[in-house]
Amino acid sequence: MVKKQIKRALISVYHKERLDLIIKKLHDEGVSFLSTGGTKTFIESQGIPCEAVEELTTYPSILGGRVKTLHPKVFGGILARRDVEKDAEQLTEYQIPEIDLVIVDLYPFEATVAAGADEKNVIEKIDIGGISLIRAAAKNYKDVVILASQDQYMPFLELINQNGAETTLEERRWFAKEAFAVTSHYDSAIFNYFDGEDASAFRFTANGSKPLRYGENPHQKGYFFGQFNEMFEQLHGKEISYNNLLDIDAAVNLINDFEDITFAILKHNNACGLASRDELKTAWKDALAGDPVSAYGGVLITNAIVDKDTAEEINKLFFEVIIAPDYDLDALELLTQKKNRIILVLENTKVPQKQFRSVLNGVLVQERDTYQETGEELKTVTEKEPDEDEIDDLLFANKIVKHSKSNAIVLAKDKQLIASGVGQTSRVDALKQAIEKAKSFDFDLQGAVMASDAFFPFNDCVEIAAEAGITAIIQPGGSVRDTDSIEMANQKGVSMVTTGIRHFKH
């Protein structure tokens, strides 16, 4: 396997952590250095000589630093093909030194935008020289090594510690691939900034590729692209699967809507048990009571620290994943008794405000449904008004139905999910499913409330619910037959409120 020797390196970076180790090792291997500004000062502070780019180009940094490395003597040294005779002749003719290694990072464009900087400052963080150096070096990977971000420091350091200042074609191609990942992500961020709300094109990149055991089914390949560790710390358990990730996503979005101490159990992205209580152990027991059958093998999530008493109860159930903001040590000792049980700490609840999915030969993009109704927004449309406790339950049920697959109906009582009907092709079927399920677990529906994710096209759901004992209903309204449903509610002595907001989830 033919290896190429690194003889000269161009380095110009902001992130210098562990860079000293690379520089010292390369210096020991006889590599010379070319640099600019602060990086040159940093290299020289290590007691290592470094030539200034200005000495090579005979031009100073100009235009407020906008032009430093954009010069034929720099780019010629990077792009010259070592096996092309004409290129070699021109290097000699124009006194251009070969550059075998480029270590460059980019101005922090995304961080500047995220910090709320004005457009003038944002524009100045669009890197020109750096990204051009990266692309040039990556293009000429047959002869040049490129490190385009701090993420490549450690792989490169391990490489040169093992092999000295030599690299194979395969190794250089890997670094080139990583470099183009950096530049494509950077350009996508810049485009999205300029495109704003126009949505003229879809550009999205995600780092951190992770192969999964399989996709939804064992015969499908699956991958996760994203920074899972920025949201979670995994304390225990097996490798997280494709389906686990879907349930975890649904669980986090659901729990984000609750402020009271709440425990939820999810199965196939839907809540099968959920309760809000003054203390966690009771919340768990009441969540489990909602559907102890479906809870088996589910995903559990709470917005409170898991204590030992609660953990003792949870430990009686087989489940795949548990998510909480933290765990008491004695609780963790109990929960880690099962080898494969996935235990996650939710460290960051912030999720992207845009959602997308592939469909046909394109992509669907929408804003995330983060709307939460308040008691003041509810419009009573019936003769009977809901009392205070019913309003609390209506808002509680509405949060759950918002995160349930359409068509969806949720039945709740005393801030406990009694039953739900999800993913049905008719709203009547969803309601009948919920009522049958509630009765199968011996729940008394008298005084319970009902939430619907969309309006009632006919009055049949209101009639069925009232006959089952439902006393209050929350729904978006907006049907041409709203008056039929309202009249039925009045006839049955049921209160009904509308929100004006539909919460379909397909």
- The architecture of the domain spanning 3-196 is 3-Layer(aba) Sandwich (3.40)
Residues of the chain with CATH 3.40.140.20: 229-346, 377-498
Strand partners, 263: 275, 302
3-state helix/strand/coil string of 109-144: HHHHHHCCCCHHHHHHCCCCHHHHHHHHHHHCCCCC
Can 139 be counted among the known catalytic residues? yes
Tens digit of pLDDT for each residue in 464-478? Answer: 999 999 999 999 999
- Active-site position among 7, 16, 268, 308: 268
d(CA 48, CA 43) in angstroms, rounded, equals 6
Summarised one tens digit per residue, pLDDT across range 71-118 is: 999 999 999 999 999 999 999 999 999 999 999 999 899 999 999 999
Which residue in the list 16, 125, 139, 236 is annotated as catalytic?
Answer: 139
The SS3 call for residue 408 is coil
The pLDDT score that the predictor gives to residue 307 is: 97
Query: Is 503 tagged catalytic?
Result: no
Please report how the helices 460-468 and 482-492 are oriented relative to each other, as an axis angle in degrees rounded to 10. Answer: 20
Residue 209 pLDDT level (bands cut at 50, 70, 90): confident
**Stretch 146-155: mean pLDDT:** 94
Which residue did the predictor score with more confidence, 36 or 289? 289
CATH code given to domain 377-498: 3.40.140.20
Determine the pLDDT at residue 64: 82
Q: Are residues 34 and 51 in contact, defined by beta-carbon separation less than 8 angstroms?
A: yes
- In the predicted structure, residue 442 carries a pLDDT above the cut 80: yes
Q: Mean pLDDT, the chain, as a whole number?
A: 94
Please give the pLDDT value at position 147: 97
List where CATH 3.40.50.1380 sits in the chain: 3-196
Sequence-ordered list of residues with C-beta below 8 angstroms from that of 348, at least 6 positions apart, any chain: 230, 231
Buried b (16+ CB within 10 A) or exposed e, 218-235: eeeebebeeeeeebbeee
Q: How confident is the model at residue 300 (pLDDT cuts 50, 70, 90)?
A: very high
Residue 1 has pLDDT above 80, yes or no: no
pLDDT confidence tier of residue 349, bands split at 50, 70 and 90: confident
- Is it the case that residue 41 has pLDDT exceeding 90? yes
Encoded tokens for 378: 């509810």
**407: preceding bond cis by omega (within 30 degrees):** yes
The domain made up of 229-346 has a fold known as: Cytidine Deaminase; domain 2 (3.40.140)
pLDDT more than 70, % of the chain = 100
pLDDT digits (tens, 9 = 90+) for 211-239: 999 999 999 999 999 989 999 999 999 99
Asked whether the predicted pLDDT for residue 352 surpasses 90, the reply is no
- Average pLDDT over every residue of 255-268: 97
Q: Is the pLDDT at 20 greater than 80, yes or no?
A: yes
pLDDT digits (tens, 9 = 90+) for 47-77: 999 999 888 888 888 888 888 888 999 999 9
Highest average pLDDT, of 5-19, 25-39, 188-202, 252-266, comes from: 252-266
